[in-house]
Structures are given as structure tokens and as C-alpha cells.
């Protein structure tokens, strides 16, 4: 009689740990997916979102909103395609995938693009941080023009030393999950502020004559800005690898949730920002708000720190690219610190010297983002997947390659020949004259 009781007790003892381990594994898997989603959304909603109202100004509100949805769909589709390509080739990074598919020339082209995009993105983050926080500090009593806290160069350098450099020194991208969640909260706060100001400030600003035109001639350039805002392919494999159990199925769920959430936030931000300022909308939407607008000042503060917490995600990618090109192995602690410092210092130096955000968004979108989103994931999948090129599952990738080449060439050409007025730090006419109904000279 004692033996069956002993077996029962042993069974109970054995079953409980197994059940606990299974439950723990599921919880860890769920947490890793949530953390990956936060990192993913944070990667998409960087400084690029601040230029989306300007993109609608370039394309026209209705057509621009349609383009934004299309770019979001293409982003979702090609991110999943990227992982399918990795699964077909047995590779675990964007660079390895392209090298396996197109050899050394493809590897070098991708490495250049994959380094160039996040590097320029980090420059834009620093530009945005310096521009926005100086206006925040000017609202502090005793801080005025000429004060050290009103100097963009000093503020950019200080934020780099205090925040972006320490966060960029992390070796595990999953540890940024909580930071990414904070960034999302700050971005949502900014969205609420932009919507409120659309309702309160928008009616006081006269709409331009072409404010509600369906489409405008600069729509091609707008695609570059939108691509810049949505690209996250360069760090997709890093986030994919942070999943507890990385599979294409789990990745598809993370991608749909992340890109869908980012699209809703981006569209709301773009429409609210453009509806407020219409044809006066600048590349940095916060340049449109008046300096004495306290609510906008709080929005500037929130967005600046959102950008600061996004910077490390891009630094992860640039460091990964350099390490693969230079030594193709895991970096030692000294090498990790040295390369991180070099990347951050270079971005800071360039961002201190230049401060026009709109051109940066357009050029980086057309030169780097469009090839990384439209062309390379589709080209890899077409070459790796079985079957003839005219099969139904290869139709969409073929179309996207053609669209990508068209948008890239046309966007670069139009950006090069057009002139953009960068009015950084200049108060708009509706701020300097409360009774103004139109800009000076109109």
C-alpha cells in the first residue's frame, strides 16, 4: 500500500516542476514578443515621424495619406519576406542573406546602405534633439538667447554624453525593451499634443490655396520621407533574434502588430500636423509652433527624449555592420566600447555642424531607405525561392523592385534639382503678429 502512495507523491513532485517550467517558458516567450514589439515600434517611430506632416505637404493630403498606407503595407510585407529569405538561405542577418544570394558585391552594397541609413538617422536624431531641447530650455526663467542652454551645439553634446552614449553601450538589444516602452509613451503624448493643437491653433492659421489639393507634383519626394520614417529592415534580424523562440510565424505576428500600430500613430500624427499648418508645414513640425506655446514646449521635451531613447537601436545596427565588415566575429569588450564611441562621436560632430532636417529626410529616404525596403528583400526572395519568376508568389516582389527603382531614381533627381528653404529657428508669421491673416508679402 505504501508503494502506490510513494509513486503518487513522486508523480506529483515530478509534474509540478514540468508544469511550472512550461508556464515559465510560455511567459518568457510572451515577454520576448512584447519586448520585440516595443523595440520594433520604437525603431519605426523615430525622428522620421516628425517629417510626415511635411510629406503630406509635398504629396497633398488625400494622396499623401494613401501613399503612407501603401508604404506601411510594403514595409510589413518585405519585413516578413526578409525573414523568409533568411529561412530559405539558413542565414541570420541581412548581410549574410544578401551575401549568400548575390555574393561579395551584394554584401558590400548592402553593408554600405545598412550602415548609411542608421548613421544618417542618428544624425537626424541629434539634430532634432538639439533643435527641440533648446526651445524647451528657453522657457526656463533666466535662460535667454546667448545662454549656454540655448546653444544647440552644447545641448546636443550634453545629451550625447548623458544619455545616448551610455544607452548605446548595451550589448543586448532586448535590454532596451523597457526604454523602448518609455519612448512609445512619450511619442503617444506628443501625438495627443499635436491633435490638441490642430483643434486649437489650426483655425487661427490661414490655410494655403492648395491646402486640400488631392495630389501634388512632389509626391515622389514624399515617398522618400515616408520610407525614411518606416524603415526598420536594417535591425529586423537583431529584433528577430531577441525572440525567445524565433520562428517566421511568431515574427509575422510581431510584424503585423508593430507595423500596424506604427502606421496608425504615424497617420494620425501626419494628418493632425498638416491640418494645422497646411502649406506652411516644415520638415521639422515643431519649427512651426511658436516659442511661447507651453503645450508645444512640453511636446518638444517629450519628443526629444523619445528620440534619445531611439538612438541606441540605430547604433546597434551600425556597430553590427562594422563588426561584420572588419572582423566578422563578436567584438571584445574593448572593441565594443571603442567602436561605439567612434560611431556616436562621428554622428554628434556632424549633427553639430548641420541643422537642416528636411533635406536629410528626403535624401536618406531615397538613397538608403527605398533600396532597403523595396528592392533588396524582394530581390533575395526572388532568387532563393523555387519556381519560375512568373509564378504568382513572385509577382508582388517583382512589382516592388520596379517601384523601388522608380521612386529611388526619381526621388534623388527631384531632391537634387529642387531647393528647400530651411528656416530653422525663425518664428513663423502667425507667431510674430497675432493679427496676421497671411504671411508677409502675400
Summarised one tens digit per residue, pLDDT across range 117-169 is 888 888 888 888 888 888 888 888 888 777 888 888 899 999 999 988 888 88
Distance CA 24, CA 44 (A): 30
Please give the average per-residue pLDDT across 95-119, as a whole number.
87
Residue 2, pLDDT score: 45
Residue 272, pLDDT score: 92
Distance CA 249, CA 84 (A): 10
Range of the domain at 336: 35-419
- Residue 125: inside a domain: yes
pLDDT bucket at 425, cuts 50 / 70 / 90 = low
Dump the DSSP string for 329-365: SPPPHHHHHHHHHHHHHHHHHHHHH---HHHHHHHHI
Residues sharing a CB contact under 8 Å with residue 132, sequence separation 6 or more, in sequence order? 286, 300, 301, 303, 304
Residue 270, pLDDT score: 92
Residue 132, pLDDT score: 84
Percent of the chain with pLDDT over 70: 81
CA distances from 280 to 183, 206, 254, 265 (A): 28, 10, 37, 22
- Residue 440: inside a domain: no
CA distances from 145 to 160, 341, 424 (A): 22, 31, 15
- Residue 321: inside a domain: yes
Calculate ∠ Cα 384-386-390, nearest 5°.
Answer: 100
Closest CA to 63 of 212, 248, 183: 212
Residues sharing a CB contact under 8 Å with residue 190, sequence separation 6 or more, in sequence order? 269, 299, 302, 303, 306
Please give the average per-residue pLDDT across 21-32, as a whole number.
60
Residue 343, pLDDT score: 92
Percent of the chain with pLDDT over 90: 12
Q: How far is CA 435 from the centre of its chain?
A: 38
Average pLDDT, the chain: 80
- Residue 17: inside a domain: no
Closest CA to 230 of 357, 411, 51: 51
Please give the average per-residue pLDDT across 369-378, as a whole number.
87
pLDDT bucket at 63, cuts 50 / 70 / 90 = very high
Is the dihedral angle over the CA atoms 215, 221, 224, 229 positive or is it negative?
negative
Q: How far is CA 44 from the centre of its chain?
A: 3
Q: How many domains does the chain have?
A: 1
Residue 205 region, left (φ>0) first, then alpha (ψ -120 to 50), else beta? beta
C-alpha cell at 137: 530650455
Summarised one tens digit per residue, pLDDT across range 223-278 is 888 888 888 776 788 777 777 676 777 788 888 888 888 899 899 999 999 999 98
The CATH number covering residue 339 comes to 1.20.1740.10
pLDDT bucket at 364, cuts 50 / 70 / 90 = confident
Residue 423, pLDDT score: 53
Quick check: 163 and 308 in contact, CB under 8 A?
yes
Distance CA 316, CA 282 (A): 30
Residues in the chain: 442
C-alpha cell at 1: 500500500
- Residue 435: inside a domain: no
Summarised one tens digit per residue, pLDDT across range 300-322 is 888 888 888 878 878 887 888 88
Q: Is 90 exceeded by the pLDDT of residue 70?
A: yes
C-alpha cell at 400: 516592388
Residue 223, pLDDT score: 87
Quick check: 381 and 85 in contact, CB under 8 A?
yes
**Which helix (H) or strand (E) covers residue 55, if one does?**
helix 52-59
- Residue 424: inside a domain: no
- Residue 213: inside a domain: yes
Distance CA 124, CA 362 (A): 11
Lowest mean pLDDT among 25-34, 135-144, 355-364, 373-382: 25-34
Find which of 59-63, 201-205, 288-292 is predicted with most confidence, using mean pLDDT: 59-63
pLDDT bucket at 421, cuts 50 / 70 / 90 = low
Distance CA 269, CA 197 (A): 11
- Residue 14: inside a domain: no
In the block, residue with C-alpha cell 507651453: 294
pLDDT bucket at 182, cuts 50 / 70 / 90 = confident
Between 412 and 63, name the one with better pLDDT.
Answer: 63
For 435, which DSSP code? T
Q: Is 90 exceeded by the pLDDT of residue 66?
A: yes
Amino acid at each position: 500500500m505504501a508503494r502506490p502512495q510513494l509513486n503518487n507523491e513522486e508523480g506529483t513532485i515530478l509534474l509540478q516542476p514540468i508544469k511550472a517550467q512550461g508556464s515559465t517558458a510560455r511567459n518568457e516567450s510572451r515577454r520576448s514578443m512584447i519586448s520585440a514589439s516595443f523595440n520594433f515600434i520604437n525603431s519605426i517611430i523615430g525622428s522620421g515621424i516628425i517629417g510626415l506632416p511635411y510629406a503630406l505637404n509635398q504629396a497633398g493630403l488625400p494622396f499623401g495619406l494613401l501613399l503612407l498606407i501603401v508604404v506601411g503595407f510594403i514595409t510589413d510585407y518585405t519585413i516578413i519576406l526578409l525573414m523568409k529569405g533568411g529561412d530559405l538561405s539558413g542565414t541570420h542577418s541581412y548581410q549574410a542573406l544578401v551575401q549568400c544570394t548575390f555574393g561579395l558585391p551584394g554584401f558590400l552594397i548592402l553593408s554600405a546602405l545598412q550602415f548609411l541609413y542608421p548613421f544618417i538617422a542618428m544624425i537626424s536624431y541629434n539634430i532634432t534633439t538639439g533643435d527641440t531641447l533648446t526651445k524647451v530650455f528657453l522657457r526656463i526663467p533666466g535662460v535667454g538667447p546667448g545662454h549656454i542652454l540655448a546653444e544647440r551645439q552644447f545641448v546636443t553634446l550634453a545629451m550625447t554624453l548623458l544619455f545616448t552614449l551610455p544607452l548605446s553601450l548595451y550589448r543586448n538589444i532586448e535590454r532596451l525593451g523597457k526604454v523602448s516602452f518609455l519612448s512609445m509613451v512619450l511619442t503617444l503624448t506628443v501625438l495627443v499634443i499635436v491633435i490638441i493643437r490642430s483643434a486649437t491653433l489650426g483655425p487661427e492659421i490661414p490655410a494655403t490655396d492648395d491646402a486640400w489639393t488631392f495630389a501634388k507634383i512632389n509626391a515622389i519626394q514624399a515617398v522618400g520621407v515616408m520610407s525614411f520614417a518606416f524603415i526598420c529592415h536594417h535591425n529586423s534580424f537583431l529584433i528577430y533574434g531577441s525572440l525567445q523562440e524565433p520562428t517566421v510565424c511568431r515574427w509575422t505576428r510581431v510584424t503585423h502588430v508593430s507595423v500596424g500600430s506604427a502606421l496608425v500613430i504615424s497617420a494620425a500624427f501626419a494628418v493632425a500636423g498638416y491640418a494645422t499648418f497646411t502649406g506652411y508645414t516644415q520638415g521639422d513640425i515643431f519649427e512651426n509652433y511658436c516659442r511661447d506655446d507651453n503645450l508645444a514646449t512640453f511636446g518638444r521635451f517629450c519628443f526629444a527624449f523619445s528620440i534619445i531613447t531611439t538612438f541606441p537601436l540605430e547604433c546597434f545596427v551600425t556597430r553590427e555592420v562594422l563588426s561584420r565588415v572588419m572582423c566578422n566575429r563578436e567584438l571584445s569588450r574593448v572593441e565594443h566600447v571603442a567602436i561605439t564611441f567612434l560611431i556616436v562621436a562621428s554622428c554628434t560632430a556632424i549633427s553639430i555642424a548641420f541643422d537642416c532636417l528636411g533635406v536629410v529626410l528626403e535624401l536618406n529616404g531615397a538613397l538608403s531607405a527605398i533600396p532597403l525596403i523595396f528592392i533588396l528583400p524582394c530581390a533575395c526572395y526572388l532568387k532563393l525561392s523555387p519556381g519560375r519568376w512568373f509564378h504568382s508568389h513572385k509577382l508582388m516582389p517583382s512589382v516592388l523592385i520596379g517601384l523601388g527603382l522608380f521612386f529611388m531614381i526619381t526621388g534623388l533627381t527631384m531632391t537634387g534639382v529642387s531647393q528647400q528653404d530651411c528656416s530653422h529657428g525663425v518664428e513663423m508669421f502667425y507667431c510674430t503678429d497675432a493679427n496676421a491673416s497671411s504671411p508677409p508679402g502675400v
